[in-house]
Structure 1
Amino acid sequence: MFFDAHTRMSDCQGKSSWPELVGARGEAAETTIEQENPLVDAIVILDGTPVPRNFLCDRVWVWVDSSGIVLRPPTIG
């Protein structure tokens, strides 16, 4: 679901942030996120990769380093 620039995480349903996954393996984080909020699609992506800047309530970027370790808290957006 697409939202305009005024959409906030608080407008989305379910859990919206996973700070506890920093330091975890990206694939494990993806599984955890999708289990804890089945309304989202977690996408593991290498840090620095260009991504669309639009806000989506059903998307979570999981930023990982070259070893596949989560670098920052995954959040809806």
Structure 2
Amino acid sequence: MSSVCEGDIGKSSWPELVGARGEVAEATIERENPRVNAIVVVEGRDMVITDVQCDRVWVWVNSKGVVVRTPGIG
């Protein structure tokens, strides 16, 4: 997490979701921290903007829809 996102932002990373289905991870993240928007992206296929936003979580999945990186705010 970037120092830009300090303060009361709630839960900021979800290492326990690596290996989960992307849709499940997205729902879990948004339930556990309603201040963020979780967005599922396919590694190697989808492009993302690289700016830091404290209300966004990229959920990186492989071609089978399985989370391959720890989702975190930024």
TM-score, scaled to structure 2: 0.89
Whole-Å separation in 2 of the counterparts to 1:12 and 1:76: 13
Q: Which runs of 5+ in 1 are unaligned?
A: none
- Within a 5 Å distance, the mapping from 1:48-63 to structure 2 comes to 48=44, 49-63=46-60
- 2:32 pairs, out of 31, 36, 39, with 36
Q: What percentage of aligned pairs have identical amino acids?
A: 60
Runs of 4+ off more than 3 Å: none
SS at 1:27's partner residue? helix
Give the alignment's TM-score, normalised by structure 1: 0.86
**What's the RMSD between the two structures over aligned residues?**
1.6
Deviations 1:6-61 (A, max 9, x none): 61x43461100000000000000000000000000000000132211110011000
Which runs of no fewer than 5 residues in structure 2 stay unpaired?
A: none
